[in-house]
């Protein structure tokens, strides 16, 4: 019964308050176009496949909350100029988030497009703009939920419920736009920065909808999310590179900041493979309009030929997360960069 109580509490959090926030991944640069549509096709090859898996609340639930993401983006050089290496990016992304104990899930599929404009003849500065068009669906399995009027007074929840429950699934459309700037001089400090507005149409995602009146009974908008990010790559030696970064997300009354640094250690005689080690922190706003240091993050990544492998663990620091049944978060990412073309780096890794 304790497991179902926790599951129901999680549903209430997601269904009533959680609509203000998005599914997010710690390794946001594994599928960078979800961080900012302007990063679609921002790669030094022709295409990139990426997969991510994340689970959390494993100690609190029989089945953890799980999130899965897969993405493909491509880069198409525009050959109308012999001087400027302009390009167009296109991509598709699928993600799903599921609380198995109560069968609550959110699924989205998005299409992306971006234009990358070279700003000089050296082709080491680019300005990019991108758009995302997505369609989503939310679903819940009522058979896994129990209500107070179902309790029979002694042995369990066997009575029928008189709750008037809405349809258990609905669909919505979702749109995002973004811009980014990249400066990557060879063997010098590089800068990547950008900003995006997600859900600028503020789609309604409440379950209670009157089909006869064709109107939403309760207002449950998915708040617009403003994202800002900056990443710097600093060469220390020919084989060591430091990459401090910050990404901030403001959505409704919530603000989340991810800040930290990775270090890339090139391996082998030619440095074709590399080891990435990183540590970040995630402060978030609390109910007192201040900040709590919610999470510390450790990451390890490997570059092997054209493959990228990332492992991260979120160490909970807030009081609710460090309880005996609190949150543990593990995340895995795998990416493949196809048909390497140039040394111009338009988007950092991990």
Distance CA 277, CA 265 (A): 8
Within a domain: residue 345? no
With tokens 């990435």, the residue in question is: 276
Read off φ and ψ for residue 127, nearest 5 degrees: -115, 130
* Distance from the first to the final alpha carbon of the chain: 40
Cα–Cα distances (Å) from 294 to 26, 140, 151, 249, 320, in that order, read: 13, 28, 37, 15, 10
Within a domain: residue 348? no
Q: Considering its fold, how many domains does the chain have in total?
A: 1
Output the pLDDT for position 342: 60
Q: Per residue of the chain (350 residues), what is the pLDDT tens digit?
A: 444 444 444 444 444 334 445 777 899 999 999 999 999 999 888 999 999 999 886 666 666 788 999 999 999 998 777 778 899 999 999 999 888 777 788 999 999 999 999 999 989 999 999 999 999 998 888 887 888 888 888 888 888 888 777 778 888 999 999 999 999 998 889 999 999 999 999 888 877 655 565 555 556 788 999 999 999 999 999 899 999 999 999 998 889 999 999 999 999 777 678 999 999 999 998 767 678 888 999 999 999 988 999 999 998 886 555 444 456 789 999 999 887 666 566 777 77
Within a domain: residue 119? yes
Q: Which two tokens stand for residue 263?
A: 């270090």
Within a domain: residue 6? yes
Read off φ and ψ for residue 73, nearest 5 degrees: -130, 150
Judge whether 166 and 213 are in contact, CB under 8 Å. Answer: no
Output the pLDDT for position 156: 81
Within a domain: residue 344? no
Q: Which two tokens stand for residue 248?
A: 């901030």
Output the pLDDT for position 102: 73
Output the pLDDT for position 7: 42
Determine how many CB atoms are found less than 10 A away from the CB of residue 304: 11
Within a domain: residue 329? yes
Within a domain: residue 346? no
Judge whether 106 and 23 are in contact, CB under 8 Å. Answer: yes
Within a domain: residue 110? yes
Stated length of the chain: 350
Distance CA 74, CA 328 (A): 34
| Burial class for 36, CB neighbours closer than 10 Å (0-12, 13-18, 19+) | buried
What CATH number should be reported for the domain holding residue 85?
A: 2.40.160.40
Q: Which two tokens stand for residue 38?
A: 């302007």
Among 57, 61, 51, CA closest to 25: 51
Range of the domain at 111: 2-338
Name the 3-class secondary structure at 22: coil
Q: Which two tokens stand for residue 230?
A: 């900056």
Output the pLDDT for position 339: 78
Output the pLDDT for position 12: 43
Output the pLDDT for position 144: 76
């Amino acid at each position: 019964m304790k497991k179902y109580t926790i599951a129901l509490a999680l549903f209430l959090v997601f269904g009533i308050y959680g609509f203000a926030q998005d599914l997010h991944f710690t390794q946001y640069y594994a599928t960078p176009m979800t961080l900012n549509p302007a990063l679609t096709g921002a790669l030094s090859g022709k295409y990139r496949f990426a997969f991510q898996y994340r689970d959390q609340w494993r100690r609190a639930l029989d089945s953890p909350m799980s999130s899965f993401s897969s993405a493909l983006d491509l880069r198409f050089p525009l050959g109308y100029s012999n001087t400027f290496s302009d390009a167009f990016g296109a991509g598709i992304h699928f993600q799903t988030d599921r609380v198995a104990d109560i069968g609550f899930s959110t699924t989205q599929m998005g299409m992306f497009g971006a234009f990358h404009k070279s700003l000089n003849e050296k082709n080491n500065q680019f300005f990019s703009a991108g758009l995302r068009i997505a369609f989503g669906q939310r679903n819940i399995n009522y058979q896994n939920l129990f209500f107070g009027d179902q309790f029979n007074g002694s042995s369990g929840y066997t009575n029928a419920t008189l709750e008037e429950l809405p349809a258990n699934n609905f669909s919505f459309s979702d749109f995002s736009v973004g811009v980014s700037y990249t400066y990557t001089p060879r063997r010098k400090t590089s800068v990547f920065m950008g900003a995006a507005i997600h859900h600028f149409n503020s789609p309604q995602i409440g379950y209670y909808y009157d089909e006869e009146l064709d109107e939403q009974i309760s207002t449950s908008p998915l708040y617009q999310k403003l994202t800002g990010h900056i990443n710097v790559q600093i060469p220390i030696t020919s084989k060591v590179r430091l990459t401090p970064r910050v990404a901030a997300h403001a959505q409704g009354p919530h603000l989340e900041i991810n800040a930290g640094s990775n270090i890339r250690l090139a391996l082998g005689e030619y440095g074709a493979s590399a080891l990435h080690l990183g540590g970040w922190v995630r402060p978030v706003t609390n109910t007192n309009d201040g900040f709590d240091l919610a999470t510390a993050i450790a990451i390890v990544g490997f570059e092997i030929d054209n493959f990228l492998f990332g492992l991260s663990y979120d160490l909970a620091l807030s009081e609710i997360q460090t309880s005996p049944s609190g949150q543990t978060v593990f995340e895995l990412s795998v990416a493949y960069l196809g048909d390497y073309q140039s040394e111009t780096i338009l988007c950092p890794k991990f």
